[in-house]
Every structure is written in C-alpha cells, then in structure tokens.
Amino acid sequence: MKPRIAIFSLTGCEGCSLAILELEDQLLDLLGAVDIVNFREGMTDRAWDIDIGFVDGAVSTPEDEKEVRHFREHCKVLVAIGSCACLGGINTLKHYQGATGPKGRGAIGENGSDAYRRYVYGDKAEWFPTTEARPISAVVKVDYELPGCPMVKEEFLAFVTSLLAGRTFKLPDFAVCVECKKRGTLCLYEKGILCLGPVTRAGCNAICPAFGSKCEGCRGIVSKEALVAAGINLREQYNVELQEVLDDLRLYGAYQEADLP
C-alpha cells in the first residue's frame, strides 16, 4: 500500500503548498509513489488516516492551535514546511507592532501590542481572535522541518524520496555564505550591506544575494557552533559584531534568543 500523504495550511499565504503543485512533472512521479488523501489546495476529498502530514503556515490564532493538534493526532509523521510553520515566519512581525518589550517585541495584548489588529480590522477587530505567532513545534511534536519562504521544492522532493527509501534526511548545517561563494557572487558586505547569510542555514543556493538582495534569514539560524564561527569571521573580515547581524534577523521570526551563544 502506498503511503498516504496530506498537506495542510494554517496562517500563511499557502505558498509552500502551492510550491508542491508547481512541481509539475516531478509531482506526477511522486503521485506514482504516494496517495495524496487530504490537500485543500488541490482536491476536495478529506481523509484522516494519514502516514505523512505536511503543514504550512504558523500557529497564530486559537483555531490554528486546535487544527494543528488535530493534524498531529491523525498523522504518523508530521512535517513543518516553510518559514511560517518552522519559525513563525512573517506572521511574527505583528509582535513588533506597538510593542515595548526587548528589541521592540511584546506579547500580544500587552501594552496595546495588538494594535495591528485594530489597524487591519478596525472596529471589527474583536471578530478576529489572535495569539502570538509561533512555529507549529511550539504546540505539537514535529518530526521534520523544511524551512524557507517558500520552502525549497528540490529539498521537499529530496526529503520525500529519503523518507520513502527509509533513509535519514538532514538539513544542511552550514551558512548560506558557503553556497554564495560557490556561485561566485560578490559578497554584499563588500558593498557595505549587512546580509544575514553568515548566520542563516544554507539550502536555497544563496538565491537572494545572487540577485543582489541581502539574505533575510528565511531558513532560520545555523547551529551554535556555526554561529560562533560566523561571529569570528564577521569581526575579522568586516569589523561587524555578530549581535548586530542577529538584531536584524526578525523578518521571519528566526531570532530565538534562547538558542544564541
């Protein structure tokens, strides 16, 4: 019997689910090896006996919390896909609106920090309950994470292939800079631009610097060991402190203070 796969969405743009549909020819090969039994973006059936469940989007509302617990209950393996599901993602930007906490971050509802809700929904704000935006691992056990905004399609295929073959799958634990240098891209620090590549997990083939944009850290931060090495390089090569770079790491909610060296 083929493994039964589901793809779910919480709060996000659902771009990671769409990335699966965009696999086109490779999706047809994949469909030969698995049964997709629950996928709001692509089908009307809703089965709940699931071997591998993929979830995009963050937990950002009370309804998300309920749904992700339901997914966990019905999936033997649960996989977070994309920055929203793995890190909280761009949803975490709401924590900075009107907040007065450390680094401008504040709990929702504290000191008016849910002002963004009133800004967006006006006098209907109370119709849209919200919580702090979190990765799904903050609510349920997650077996694997495939970060990125959107997730990297090739990484998704490599992951599914590994899982079906019973092989272990590991994300790269080195910085985006390694891939950037392999591509021969001129480092943005040479132009005086602060880039988050030194502290961000590789796997995207350093696509943003290749097109002239700084890395914004959508794949999350590297391990502590790799961060320490990044700190030394940044100071020696560019006279930049690691903390300055980490302070800029907020767009995707990747900055987890507890994990820093």
Binding site for ligand SF4 (CB under 6 A): 12-16, 56-57, 82-84, 89-90, 148-150, 176-177, 180-181, 185, 187-189, 195, 197-198, 200, 204, 206-209, 215-219
- Closest residue to ligand SF4 using C-beta atoms: 197
Least distance to ligand SF4, CB of residue 45, Å: 22
By C-alpha distance, which of 87, 20, 23 is closest to 54? 20
Q: Cβ 218 to ligand SF4, closest distance in Å?
A: 3
Distance in Å, CB of 129 to ligand SF4, minimum? 20
> If DSSP codes are grouped into helix, strand and coil, which group holds residue 105?
coil
Q: Nearest 5 degrees, angle CA 261-CA 204-CA 97?
A: 60
Q: What angle do the packed helices 153-165 and 25-33 form, to 10 degrees?
A: 20
Output 164 or 229, the one with its CB closest to ligand SF4.
Answer: 229
Number of helices (H), then strands (E), belonging to the chain: the values are 10, 5
CB atoms closer than 10 angstroms to residue 157: 16
What is the nearest approach in angstroms of ligand SF4 to the Cβ of residue 176?
A: 4
Q: Is 34 exposed, middle or buried (0-12, 13-18, 19+ CB in 10 A)?
A: middle
Rank residues 198 and 231 by Cβ distance to ligand SF4 and give the closer one: 198
Minimal distance in Å, beta carbon 203 to ligand SF4?
7
Cβ distance to ligand SF4 smaller for residue 17 or 113: 17
